[in-house]
Chain A
Amino acid sequence: MAVESTTRAKVRWGLLDVVVVVFALVPVLWIASLSFKTPATLTDGKFWPREWTLDNYRTIFDTDQFVRALINSIGIALIATTIAVVLGAMAAYAISRLDFPGKKLLVGVSLLIAMFPQVSLVSPLFEIERQLGLFDTWPGLILPYITFALPLAIYTLSAFFKQIPWDLEKAAKMDGATQAQAFRRVIAPLAAPGVFTTAILVFIFCWNDFLFAITLTSTERSRTVPVALQFFTGESQFEDPTGAICAAAVVITVPIILFVLFFQRRIVSGLTSGAVKG
């Protein structure tokens, strides 16, 4: 009876999982499929391409447009992620470890920023950046990205930091470590998964942003891929760029997937288990 019901429960959950995964993946797979189709078969409505081609990929890497946008995307996202994670780590450390006046206010304000509708900030930002000469530059995108990524970074990092058994720092000091040694050899390895997770989340946020990128850029100088895709024309004006756009979409999705897969082992929580009584 009990065995039967658990088997049935397993099947039920399994089916539900499959539905969710399919639902989430179908659009992605469809785009991947489109990117391998020839222009002639593009609209045949078949999920599986009848004729495979890599032309679309060749096209996008041949156009300067896309390569340039890819460089912008990578550069801007990496710089913004690094700064946001470093600043976020400091703030999260303070929030999770120290008691200081205005702690609640800091948390509240960062929550406020996270909730603020970005759309309403786009026009003022556009004006400000034009006045300051930041419009259509890398810093012009990096700055707002940091602003909006910071609350996210602070939240995830302080959640992680709160789980670190800080007794370990004391233990390391008793074992003869300096403050720096205690941090480097004991705390840093435990904080790493949290930092990586946060970095990935922030990176994805920057990488996927369309709103700021379309408003605050105007040329290839700082246009990122999501925006560049919109301006994609293909090789000649009369060519339908759908296949190429799909190829580009696949190309910008791949780094994210690789990124997550690569760091997945490090993200796995439970690394800290066993430090304390547990």
Chain B
Amino acid sequence: MADIVLDKVSKRFPDGTTAVQDVDLEIADGEFVILVGPSGCGKSTTLNMIAGLEDISSGELRIGGERVNDKAPRDRDIAMVFQSYALYPNMTVRENMAFPLRLAKLDKETINQKVDEAAKVLELTALLDRKPANLSGGQRQRVAMGRAIVRQPKAFLMDEPLSNLDAKLRVQMRTVVSRLQKQLGTTTVYVTHDQTEAMTLGDRVVIMRGGAVQQVGPPQELYDHPRNLFVAGFIGSPSMNFVHAAVEDGKLRTALGDVPIGERVRRELEAGDAPRELILGIRPEHFEDAALIDDETRRRGMEFEAPVDIVESMGSDKYVYFTVEGERATAAELEELAADAGAADFAGGGSNLVTRLSAESPVREGESRRVWFNLEKIHLFDPGSGRNLTLHEGRSAGALAD
């Protein structure tokens, strides 16, 4: 049990790559923190520095209040679960789980007792005499977890522990991990590139990009109040819609119509170096079929009409895809996110909108439909810096706020 503090921690590899840059992070005792970001953003490197498998180039790492920069992994009392599981193939499941205890020179009886206990928690008892080669992926994953929990370390580090499982098993194991962490109350740092895992698992989420921390906070806060374009685009599935917006006559000219702006945003845009072009971001659930809303709600937003491309009925609601004419939103962040998602620009001209409408909506593919969206939930981003202009004291208040 211990807190982990990263104080301006950086990592430069000998070949000149700066993989991690000035990361400040305070992880409380017992907290479950998720490091998330596209691949190559420095998550594993950060984790390896906490583990002691990589040297820290500059900055300080403290575990339980003690500086551990120069301590070997074995002296940090931290357990790690690897993406590859890294089970010892020449040892049985029991021997694998007993390995850390044997190195710690515990007596045989205690070792057996602890291994049996951990095996029971992870439902591995029947498999104790098997070799890893004779286990399924999910079982190997559990053995890897078992090896980590068996010696009750100060903290767990997990590097994409579920990414080699198939989708169904991943969801299942997610709850196992979550329950286990709550049960044991051990400080945990969990790395993933999957935003769903990040949203569902952790107490707090750290979003990284290019070796730097973008935003730290509880999942819901990151979702509702993204500090910048990157965070906004990374968190959420389907992800936020981004539309080009030109500032003209105190209004935003967009493909969804002219969007009015409130005092606060106006003031932001009056500054000398303020951008003349913005990116408007809005999440799928903040759209609604215009025929289905009452007047009270209607006043809080505005409407547009667009041709319907695809309707996906999810039962509880409908995902409706529209194409809107007009310039596309472009920014380095968006390109990076698209590249990470493996989605190079598939749309020709115009931009695609993903909306989540009520199941009652009679919307049909091919028709043109009137759609309402909530102006209070809009985010405006500076395409140059990626900054969220609608964010005030960490809260996002939409485009209309005064």
Interface residues of A (CB under 8 A from B): 165, 167-168, 170-178, 181, 185-186, 189-190, 270-278
Contact = CB atoms under 8 A, between A and B. Distances in A.
A188 to B, nearest CB: 10
Contact of A175 (B53, B99, B132): B99
Contacts of A176: 74, 100, 103-104, 151
B84 A167 contact: yes
B192 to A, nearest CB: 16
B140 A274 contact: yes
Contact of A275 (B51, B52, B87, B99): B87
B121 interface: no
Contacts of A168: 86, 88
Interface string B79-104: 11010111111100000000110011
B250 interface: no
B72 interface: yes
B169 to A, nearest CB: 12
A272 B89 contact: yes
Contact of A170 (B78, B85, B86, B87): B86
B134 interface: yes
B210 interface: no
Contacts of A278: 133
B74 A177 contact: yes
Contacts of A272: 89
Given A274-B135, A274-B140, A173 B86 contact: no
B103 A174 contact: no
Interface residues of B, number: 31
Contacts of B90: 189-190, 271
A186 B74 contact: no
B118 to A, nearest CB: 14
A275 B89 contact: yes
B51 A174 contact: yes
B204 interface: no
B164 interface: yes
Contacts of A174: 51, 53, 73-74, 78-80
Nearest to A181: B103
Contacts of A170: 51, 53, 73, 80, 82, 86
B356 interface: no
B133 A274 contact: yes
Contacts of B53: 170, 173-174
B154 to A, nearest CB: 12
A190 B79 CA distance: 23
A80 B104 CA distance: 40
B137 A277 contact: yes
Contact of B86 (A178, A181, A276): A276
Contacts of A177: 74, 103
B51 to A, nearest CB: 6
A178 B99 CA distance: 13
B89 A190 contact: yes
A269 B128 CA distance: 24
Contact of B82 (A171, A185, A190, A271): A171
A165 B200 CA distance: 31
Which of B79, B90, B133 has the most chain A CB within a 10 Å cutoff?
A: B90
Given A170-B53, A176-B103, A276 B85 contact: yes
A171 B80 contact: yes
A190 B91 CA distance: 11
Which of B82, B85, B86, B99 has the most chain A CB within a 10 Å cutoff?
A: B86
28 contacts: A167-B82, A168-B86, A168-B88, A170-B53, A171-B86, A173-B53, A173-B72, A173-B74, A174-B79, A175-B79, A176-B151, A186-B88, A189-B90, A190-B89, A270-B133, A271-B89, A271-B90, A272-B89, A273-B89, A274-B87, A274-B89, A274-B132, A275-B87, A275-B132, A276-B85, A277-B84, A277-B140, A277-B164
Given A170-B80, A176-B100, A177-B103, 16 more contacts: A168-B86, A173-B52, A174-B53, A174-B80, A175-B99, A175-B100, A176-B104, A176-B151, A190-B90, A273-B133, A274-B135, A275-B88, A275-B132, A276-B86, A276-B87, A277-B137
Contacts of B132: 274-275
B114 interface: no
A182 to B, nearest CB: 10
A258 B135 CA distance: 34
B214 to A, nearest CB: 28
Interface string B229-262: 0000000000000000000000000000000000
Nearest to A166: B86
Contacts of A275: 84-89, 132
A273 B79 CA distance: 23
B164 A274 contact: no
Given A189-B90, A273-B89, A277-B84, A173 B133 contact: no
A18 to B, nearest CB: 32
B328 to A, nearest CB: 39
B119 to A, nearest CB: 17
A223 B79 CA distance: 58
Contacts of B73: 170, 173-174
